[in-house]
Amino acid sequence: MKVLELTGLGNDSLNKRSFFIFKLDEIFQQHFNEILEKIGLKSRIYDEQLPLSKRKNQLDYFKNDEFDIDVIYTSDRIIVLVRANKSDLERFKSLMLSYSKMKK
């Protein structure tokens, strides 16, 4: 499986928000759709047919009872900002790290 290149991650001091920064890669949509399904956002998955090059400088938003997620597309990065309680954030982080590798 091709993994996403993670270039940064962190969280706020209250552990209610986390962020993940990825290198822009078309494989993001496939992996992120799988993650969204695993956290119960199956009905909110966006269309994989729209290439990331068409999403530059845009924002996607996903929400359910446990997660509030913004996905920001820049010219060369994808930024995922997640708001949730501490245990849900840990679960989300574990999923994101299973699909990615930190850039050295």
Confidence band of 8 (pLDDT split at 50, 70, 90): very high
Give the sheet arrangement for strand 4-11, strand by strand: 58-63, 68-73, 77-83, 17-23, 4-11, 100-102
Task: In whole angstroms, give the CA distance from residue 46 to residue 74.
Answer: 17
**69-96 pLDDT tens trace:** 999 999 899 999 999 999 999 999 999 9
Domain 4-102 carries which CATH code? Answer: 3.30.70
pLDDT of amino acid 45: 60
Tell me which residue of 66, 44, 47 sits closest to 55, measured CA to CA.
Answer: 47
Q: Please determine, for residue 13, whether its predicted confidence score (pLDDT) is greater than 70.
A: yes
pTM of the model: 0.89
pLDDT of amino acid 46: 65
**26-76 pLDDT tens trace:** 888 888 888 999 998 875 566 666 777 778 888 989 999 999 999 999 989
Q: Where are the domains of the chain?
A: 4-102
